[in-house]
Structure 1
């Protein structure tokens, strides 16, 4: 009798709870489509959680029985995290003094092309002393960067060497992620444009699509620049011609030929200046000669003719040997 009495209240309580649950379900169903979908989602998620919990318990028991280290909760091996490759921008600058600049430049170009690279820029000039200077920008794949750099150092006398490595892995990952997100965003806008029926909606979506495509192109340009700089190292090579040995011997002191050449140069310089001086004085000398000729030919004879005859003094007395001058015999 006690068992029957204890079962009846329990059945009555279960009936009341079931009726309340049916009432709540009916109210939520009348709430609208969104409420129904949310209820369906929750109802779908609840069994999954229950099944997941059951799987976790079963897997935990199996794992405890097997005792395998490094295993996951369901007995499968744990997934290893994806390792991101390092992206490094490598740059270097070399200053080398060589005997033959064109030959050294050909060697550098050949080494670069053999490594799969290319010469990006080249500039050549000649200074006042006749020495040739060349600057070349070499783009070399990262795999052959160290080998090419070592080979360039051996083409002549190394004057200066600088090298730099910049890790841009985080920047590359960030740009790649933004590119993927922007592409998905552009795809969503295009999908909305396909579904749009109103002209105003189409115009708005076209403007939004233009903005997002511009952002995507900017990100793609950044991505291409990073890829180029990380896949190809940049080497700036400066080549300068070394002073010749003949020039060094000349610095020891002048020889006979040097003295002869210097004397001849001085002689020619003196003649040049004398010629210049004569050319400067010649007009004045010609004028002076003309004046002298005029004086001798015209002015001086005219002055002689105008002089009167009485102006001539008395004739001197004849000289006598006997003792001086006299008026005559006594």
Structure 2
């Protein structure tokens, strides 16, 4: 009797434990299915919110460490490189050709070339445009053409200006598209004219912004290097210390010649007018003055005081009460 009762209690406990396990399994499966359905429906219902959270998380990571380091990388910033270098060489023309070849090998070109040749005093000024990533390599190659006398390198970070231009261009394009939609919906001549004027103004602003962006892109993509190649007879002291009596005399003589050239040019322009109008006017004035000089003078007739008037001349009677002149 006791053994049967114990067996029934054990069977009941095992059944109860199995039921609990089955219920737990169903509950976990249902919860997993609900979580999966919720996860599947969440992106479809609110993609923008998910992206915003992802962007916020990435922004937080950027502020935390790795993002901040990546944001300050040089290759992700817009930098304008400019440089100038002066090199003394034995053969200016040969060195100028080598400098142009260095710029071409780097993927750039020669933007300007000015030369003054006088044997040892020859000077060549070159303006080279090279890719920014090859800027320092080209500068070092140019310095190796001879004896470097001067080097100046400058940089300008225009990252913020580039980002601002991108945002303004995007906004201006949206404004242009809005004006075009309004133009398509215009139903009167006055609305059509006003919207066309506004559209033209917005398109002009957009073109100006895009031109600035292209200019910045050109300056950041291609750096500028100004190269001065001088012969062995030219020194920096000779060019910087150009003072003294002879230098002043030379400058004054150049100014005098320039002034005389201007004066002769003005005189040549006026001379035809003087011949046409000045000569006849001068001859007429000379004839009139000569006639006045040769005209005979007639003496004035005067009557002495107290003398009788000449015959045929009547004298008015004196006015009573008037005083005679002494």
TM (norm. structure 1) is 0.49
Q: Which has the larger radius of gyration?
A: 1
TM (norm. structure 2) is 0.50
